[in-house]
Amino acid sequence: IARRGGRRFGSAVSWKAAGTGMSVTNPAYAAILRRECGLIVPENEMKWQTLRPSADQFDFAAMDAIAEWARGNALELRGHTLLWHRPQWFPDWLNTYDFGATPVRRAERLLLDHIRVVTNRYRGQITSYDVVNEAIDHDRRAPIETSLSRAMGSPEAVIDFAFHAARAELPKAELVYNDYMSWEPAHEGHCVDVLRLLEGMKKRGVPCDALGIQSHIEMFKVDLASGVGVYDEAGWRRFLDEVTGMGYRLLITEFDVKDSALPADLAMRDRKVADYARRYFDLMLDYDAHLGDILAWGMVDAHNWLQYFDPAKRSDGLEVRGTPYDSNYAAKALREAIAGSL
Ligand code: XIL
């Protein structure tokens, strides 16, 4: 269905059954991927924490296994992410790294090596990368500082360098800045800050092609009678207008629904989640000409990260039902809602 609209639909996957367990080694999960997806993205296997046990070591075991599985099943692969620019997602050694007397050179060397090694390993297979992920602190309303930004002088120096390095390796790839902004009030400031970042990159000539909109959409505050989120959709459209007006393309990179605020009734919940998602996708598809890949962050409820991620997990102990398939691997109304919008 997505292909008819000229785009790819896909999902996050993991290799080991550990963690969220949305693993390609789980036959029922793999069957859904084969049937529904044209594309997959590694949930954690490409992050520095997995790939870089130390400054001078790479561990590609899990990521290679996913890449091989994708090839064997004729699925395409996206890259997530060359740099999640947050201390809590850096490996410990990087947070405490001694950049010595020439910090700029040492930091650039480290980042450049990482981007070169990773992009070259999957050359020809990965043509779209989240180059930088979540680089803005939405409480402090400022770009995030890390050991790398302190060494290189500013967060922007790190971000710009990462995009230039990726472009030098992959002249034709789609290079994406990926973040979690949404139209809910708590993220309004974050949207402004993302716009500021994108504007700055444009001015500085940074080779970033698209904004990845994660789309962990939230139903924490919904009008239960209508099932409609009490969010500022007009504001969200203005945001999308500004982003596309600057010439950036859009991707939906990590779709799922946080439904924890809805009552326990499963049938009712599944209906409301589907309606809400339908509305979201319909809005996003108004940007048809600008919108590329669409990915869910997992296809099966039981294996979705929201089951354990605060504050998305439910206080009543029930599952979050935020993905297209239930935990018995049966399609839900959400699956039809997505298909209907595309
Ligand atoms: C999440 C994974 O799903 C979890 O397993 C992990 O513990 C933390 O990261 N935004 C992103 C993704 O860009 O990389 C995150 O993935 C979810 C939020």
Which domains, from first to last, does the chain contain? 3-341 (3.20.20.80)
Q: Average pLDDT of 81-104?
A: 98
ipTM of the complex: 0.99
SS3 sequence of 296-307: ECCCEHHHCHHH
What was the pLDDT predicted at 226?
63
The enclosing H or E element of 77 equals strand 76-84
Q: Distance, CA 251 to ligand 1 centroid (Å)?
A: 17
Per-residue tokens: 49: 């924490």
What was the pLDDT predicted at 153?
98
20 lines ligand 1 (CB under 6 A): yes
Q: Average pLDDT of 182-211?
A: 93
Check pLDDT > 70 for residue 17: no
Beta carbons of 306 and 14 less than 8 angstroms apart: no
Strands (E) across 147-275 are located at 174-179, 210-213, 216-218, 222-223, 228-229, 249-258
Check pLDDT > 60 for residue 227: no
- Residue nearest ligand 1's atom 3 by CA: 305
Question: pTM for this one?
Answer: 0.96
Cα-flanking dihedrals φ and ψ of residue 177, to 5°? -95, 125
Cα-flanking dihedrals φ and ψ of residue 142, to 5°? -155, 155
The gap between the terminal CA atoms of the chain, to the nearest Å, is: 7
44 lines ligand 1 (CB under 6 A): yes
Total residues belonging to the chain: 342
214 lines ligand 1 (CB under 6 A): yes
Average the pLDDT over each of 111-120, 177-186, 199-208 and give the range with the smallest value.
Answer: 177-186
215 lines ligand 1 (CB under 6 A): no
Q: Distance, CA 225 to ligand 1 centroid (Å)?
A: 32
Between the CA of residue 128 and those of 16, 99, 118, 208, 325, what are the distances in Å? Answer: 24, 31, 13, 11, 26
253 lines ligand 1 (CB under 6 A): no
Q: Distance, CA 47 to ligand 1 centroid (Å)?
A: 10
